[in-house]
Amino acid sequence: MPAPVFKASPRLPTISIAPGLWAVLFMFTQTAAADVLVVTDSRHPVQAPAGVRIIELDQATRIEVELAAHLPADPQRAAALVRQRLQDGGEALQRRIGHAYQGVADAWGLGIAKIPAVVVDRRYVVYGEPDVPRAVARINAYRSAQP
């Protein structure tokens, strides 16, 4: 059964294709899209090929939970411990935090309404499909039918 497709932001056309076309669509899975972005969270895993950017909307919250784990009740000691954790994490932690919040901003800027969302070329979106190659195939089929 194909994944449900929801109405997208006015900026991103949503694609809906009849179930009988699935056999044809698999031919398009090898077609490379110029830019593929997946927006999801940790509760909605996706199957994506290497090189596809995946934004997990709850990643920033998960990092904050890591930083706040097992803090003492004393606010001054807790603040010192968080500062130490941030320092120990170094540039790698700073990058993780920056990427997490940038991903949320990017998804918001695209007007993503549901997850998972597979976005191609910042113009086309398929909602609810965890198989990224299948979603890209749906988009490519739509694009080839819409000159």
* Helix, coil or strand: residue 78: helix
8-state DSSP, 117:
E
- CA 22 – CA 113 distance, rounded (Å): 25
pLDDT digits (tens, 9 = 90+) for 96-127: 999 999 999 999 999 999 999 999 999 999 99
**What are the angstrom distances between the C-alpha of 34 and each of 22, 121, 132?**
22, 6, 14
- CA 61 – CA 53 distance, rounded (Å): 19
pLDDT digits (tens, 9 = 90+) for 27-36: 444 445 469 9
Q: Which two tokens stand for residue 4?
A: 């449900």
- What pLDDT is stored for residue 146 in this prediction? 83
Q: Which two tokens stand for residue 32?
A: 């490379």
Confidence of residue 11 (pLDDT cuts 50, 70, 90): low
- What pLDDT is stored for residue 24 in this prediction? 38
Sequence ranges of the domains in the chain: 19-145
For residue 39, the surrounding DSSP H or E stretch is strand 36-40
